[in-house]
Amino acid sequence: MNGEMEKTEKGSARVDAIKEQAAQLAGKAKEGFARLNERTQVYQEGAREFLDSVGLYIKENPQRSAIIAVLAGLGLGLLIGRATKRGRD
């Protein structure tokens, strides 16, 4: 009977140790998530400012913006066409 009590106590201690490790890992995960969230907020603000400035530029220069869009589309099309052509050769 004494041996069974020792096994139970060891098992209980092991479970407690696992619970403690799990709690520590959960705390580290929460800290990492908080840091990631802070970083993404900074990038989101920068992206919003960039998109706002692009929208303002398009409103102020609609013809120039259309020409830029067409040229960018042609350039991208040429790059994709060359890349797919190389893949077939």
| Measured distance CA(65)–CA(72) in Å, rounded | 10
Q: Spell out the domain ranges in the chain.
A: 2-88
Predicted confidence band of residue 51 (pLDDT cuts 50, 70, 90): very high
pLDDT at residue 87, rounded to an integer: 64
52-81 pLDDT tens trace: 999 999 999 999 999 999 999 999 999 999
Q: Per the confidence metrics, is the pTM higher than 0.85?
A: no
Asked if residue 43 lies in contact with residue 36, where contact means CB atoms within 8 angstroms, the answer is no
